[in-house]
């Protein structure tokens, strides 16, 4: 479709030159393509190998090629009319091959890229796209949900025709984005597709469950803390998966999990939420946020940590037990390669442990001896399908049976969970409404 637009422009340029009829000054010289007034163009006739055909006297042989007419459209695909209200048309050669489109990939981040937990996975994928596909990439950070269309426009004006939406907060915005049908969207956290957009996510609750087992094995107080941004991908499913993982080590009566909400980009809220968890006796804290600040701060407080970021050895080198994260590289490279090769097939993709989409961080120095051994067994059971994390009987925090004994939930149900399992003893919120959020400066970075 990008080639079509370029072909329109090329045809328009040829029409503008329609009055320039020329002849060859000497036989044997390479002729130029000639466009006659009206619906024909005159070109040099060529043989099977593409060489110009000449007559007995050595003059080039010409042929007339019929052109077709079509309406001129603007960048938004709307037909153009002149001042008199007449539809503007142009001639074009239907057999002429359009030029190969040039692709550029733009990423849109909801927070500051450098301090991101989820962003680490996207940046790894961005690097892989450049290395594997040889495409130019760039990004805009700190984009508010309401400013998503402007970020899209900025990237499109810079030449981006593939846009990766890097936060589930943007999912609805992507689905409403209609500025140009000639832009492809890869939508993290979305559930819908269109002719030029796919959605993707994954079963991160599986690796979160393994991390829950690790947390339970490493706690001394049996009180484990969770801090999360309420806007995270499948937030209840991931937290509940983590909590259910604790029950692989602890009895239901022993597993005591406390959950606090805070916004990923508000350091004051995060500090208050972490301090509150510590005051409740939590000696292991799991962070599920777009930023890694909660992990950093908990480590500063001397607490063992688990987080949804792959760079825990750098973020909390002495305090991390393990962690869980998405590996976006394989999916994004595959879908973008399909776009480049013109065989894009819109889909809703959800990868799991077995596909390599949901990953586990190597066990760190804070993990006590034996942690890796027991967690690896559980990991293998989940990977092989022998263990399903959400298998009943499971009750919610109010004691109501949500999954009957012997029944299991599949991902289509887990993605819609909006309740905590019974082991969550207390939940608190430190989120406050921001009246004047700071918007992005829309500076494109690479």
Residue 18 pLDDT > 60: no
Of 225, 116, 132, 208, nearest to 166 (Cα)?
Answer: 116
Map out the domains of the chain with their CATH numbers: 2-92 (no CATH), 204-326+357-429 (3.40.50.2300)
Task: Tell me if 294 sits within 8 A of 269, measured CB to CB.
Answer: no
Of 424, 427, 386, 439, nearest to 408 (Cα)?
Answer: 386
Lowest mean pLDDT among 111-120, 287-296, 376-385: 111-120
Lowest mean pLDDT among 78-82, 96-100, 233-237, 320-324: 96-100
Task: Tell me if 247 sits within 8 A of 255, measured CB to CB.
Answer: yes
Mean pLDDT of the chain: 89
Straight-line distance from the first to the last Cα atom of the chain, in angstroms, rounded to the nearest whole number: 26
Strand arrangement of the beta sheet that strand 424-429 belongs to: 358-360, 320-326, 304-307, 284-288, 223-228, 256-261, 424-429
Of 279, 166, 257, nearest to 211 (Cα)?
Answer: 257
Residue 145 pLDDT > 70: yes
Stated pTM of the model: 0.80
Q: What is the pLDDT of residues 418-434, one digit of tens each?
A: 999 999 999 999 999 87
**Going by C-beta distance under 8 Å and a sequence separation of 6 or more, which residues neighbour residue 156?**
163, 179, 180, 183
CA distances 268 to 67, 117, 273, Å, are 66, 18, 9
- Maximum CA extent, the chain: 101
Q: Which residue has the higher pLDDT, 245 or 116?
A: 245
Question: Any idea what the Cα angle at residue 68 is, between residues 62 and 70, rounded to 5°?
Answer: 145
Of 234, 297, 306, nearest to 267 (Cα)?
Answer: 297
Q: What is the pLDDT of residues 175-215, one digit of tens each?
A: 888 555 589 999 999 989 999 999 999 999 999 999 999 99
Task: Tell me if 211 sits within 8 A of 284, measured CB to CB.
Answer: no
Confidence of residue 51 (pLDDT cuts 50, 70, 90): confident
Cis status, amide bond into 245, omega within 30 of 0: no
Separation CA 163–CA 140 (nearest Å): 11
Model pLDDT, residue 32: 54
Residue 62 pLDDT > 80: yes
Q: What is the pLDDT of residues 92-112, one digit of tens each?
A: 787 777 778 899 999 999 988
Task: Tell me if 288 sits within 8 A of 226, measured CB to CB.
Answer: yes
């Amino acid at each position: 479709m990008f080639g079509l637009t370029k072909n329109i422009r090329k045809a328009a340029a040829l029409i503008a030159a329609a009055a320039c009829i020329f002849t060859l000054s000497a036989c044997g010289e390479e002729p130029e393509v000639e466009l006659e007034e009206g619906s024909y163009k005159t070109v040099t006739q060529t043989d099977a190998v593409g060489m110009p055909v000449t007559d007995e006297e050595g003059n080039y042989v010409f042929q007339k090629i019929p052109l077709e007419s079509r309406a001129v459209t603007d960048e938004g695909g709307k037909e153009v009319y002149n001042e008199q209200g007449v539809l503007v048309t142009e001639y074009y050669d239907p057999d002429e091959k359009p030029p190969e489109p040039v692709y550029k990939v733009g990423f849109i981040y909801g927070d500051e890229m450098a301090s991101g937990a989820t962003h680490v996975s996207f940046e790894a994928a961005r690097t892989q796209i450049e290395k594997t596909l040889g495409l130019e990439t760039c990004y805009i950070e700190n984009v508010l949900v309401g400013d998503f269309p402007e970020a899209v426009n900025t990237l499109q004006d810079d030449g981006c025709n593939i846009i990766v939406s890097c936060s589930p907060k943007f999912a609805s915005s992507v689905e409403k984005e209609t500025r140009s049908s000639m832009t492809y969207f890869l939508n993290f956290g979305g559930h819908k597709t269109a002719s030029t957009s796919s959605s993707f996510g994954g079963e991160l609750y599986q690796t979160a469950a393994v991390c829950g087992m690790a947390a339970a094995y490493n706690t001394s107080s049996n009180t484990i803390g969770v801090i999360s941004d309420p806007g995270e991908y499948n937030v209840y499913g991931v937290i509940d998966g983590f909590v259910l993982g604790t029950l692989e080590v602890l009895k239901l009566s022993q597993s005591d999990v406390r959950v606090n909400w805070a916004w990923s980009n508000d350091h004051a809220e995060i500090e208050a939420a972490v301090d509150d968890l510590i005051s409740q006796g939590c000696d292991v804290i799991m962070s599920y946020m777009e930023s890694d600040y909660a992990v950093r701060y908990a480590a500063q407080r001397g607490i063992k940590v688990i987080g949804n970021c792959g760079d825990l050895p750098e973020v909390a080198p002495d305090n991390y037990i393990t962690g869980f994260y998405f590996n976006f590289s394989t999916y994004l490279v595959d879908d973008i390669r399909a776009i480049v090769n013109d065989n894009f097939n819109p889909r809703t993709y959800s990868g799991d442990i077995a596909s390599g989409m949901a990953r586990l961080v190597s066990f760190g120095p804070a993990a006590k001896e034996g942690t890796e051994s027991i967690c690896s067994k559980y990991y293998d059971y989940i990977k092989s399908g022998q263990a399903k994390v959400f298998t009943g009987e499971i009750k919610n925090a109010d004691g109501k049976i949500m999954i009957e004994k012997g029944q299991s939930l599949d991902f289509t149900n887990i993605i819609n969970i909006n309740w905590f399992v019974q082991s969550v003893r207390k939940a608190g919120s430190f989120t406050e409404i921001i009246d004047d959020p700071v918007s992005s400066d829309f500076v494109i970075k690479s």
